[in-house]
Amino acid sequence: MRQRRYPSDTTDLEWSLIERLLTVPACQTQRGGRPEAHPRREIVDALRYIVDTGCKWSALPQDYPPFKTVFGFLTRWSAAGVFNLIRDQPRRRIRKSMGTSPHPVAVVIDSQSVKVAATVPRSTSGYDAGKKIPGRKRHIVVDTKGLPLFVMVTPADMHDSVAAREALFRLRLMHPEITIVWADSAYAGTLVDWAKSFLHLTLKTVSRPKDAKRFVVLPRRWVVERSLAWLLHARRNARDYETLPQHSEAMLTLAAITLMTRRLTRQPIHPNAAAPRPQAALRAA
């Protein structure tokens, strides 16, 4: 095992949350297969390094497994829905720790247009005329705590109401307990009736006040906007570098997983604990 030396590396507590949610190695199944050459933890740490630092695949440090091996795991786990499974488990645990039901019934949906790298094919990108951004659009659904439930990436020229039909349909299949969806005015119109008739979802829009001239914190909507800002803290998500949209979704999901596992494994500070003395702190260091 390599030495943990980067800030993005998993801690022992984080790895205990993630390890049991990964797929079983092929060599341990009845069908059989070749044993994996690198420990799973090193693969996950390498993926988190890419997401956190935003470096090129070929610039992955040499103490990680070869970047082609890491990219292969990204492709297979993304296609198998592994990242979505890992994302859902920490979210449920966080909600339970906050005293709420692990399965939300109210969610918030929004989108964000980002620029793409020159290597991204034009067939999977477009031009957002409203935001005047050439690139891709990220559609995200979060609960009322700001924890992600669903991520989808489309060309930037796809209107929010069009992409929302597929997003809400897939969301309904994965989370049948959801009853209400909050959104901005871009999702108003026929989408409201369609969601009510076909998905039995109540879609409520929150509009910006007419007399507002500056930034205004809007009820419900600020939660999803904050979540999008959290995901941008990972440098890989500041711009879309992925050739395939599903890999972009994986990068966003990995950033969300890191945020939630770090939150779950954060050591609580006792409110009555006395602050350590300077000399004691130096000796401990």
Q: What is the pLDDT of residues 106-142, one digit of tens each?
A: 999 999 999 999 989 999 999 999 889 999 999 999 9
- How much is the average pLDDT of 70-93? 95
What are φ and ψ of residue 111, in 5° steps?
A: -135, 165
pLDDT band of residue 29 (cuts 50, 70, 90) is confident
Residue 269 CA to residue 273 CA, distance in Å, equals 7
Ordered domains of the chain (ranges, CATH): 102-209+216-242 (3.30.420.10)
The label of the residue with tokens 């786990």 reads: 77
What are φ and ψ of residue 63, in 5° steps?
A: -80, -5
Segment (H or E) for 283: helix 278-284
Residue 271 has pLDDT above 50, yes or no: no
Residue 49 CA to residue 254 CA, distance in Å, equals 10
Q: Other CB atoms closer than 10 Å to residue 43's CB: what's the count?
A: 20
Percentage helix, strand, coil for the chain under 3-state DSSP, each rounded to 5: 45, 15, 40
Cβ 155 vs Cβ 127: under 8 Å: no
Residue 178 CA to residue 120 CA, distance in Å, equals 35
Cβ 80 vs Cβ 26: under 8 Å: no
pTM: 0.88
133-143 and 180-183: which strand pairing? unpaired
User: Residue 209 has what pLDDT?
Assistant: 63
If you average pLDDT over every residue of the chain, what do you get? 88
Could you tell me which residues are beta bridge partners of residue 182?
108, 204
Q: Which two tokens stand for residue 66?
A: 């070869």
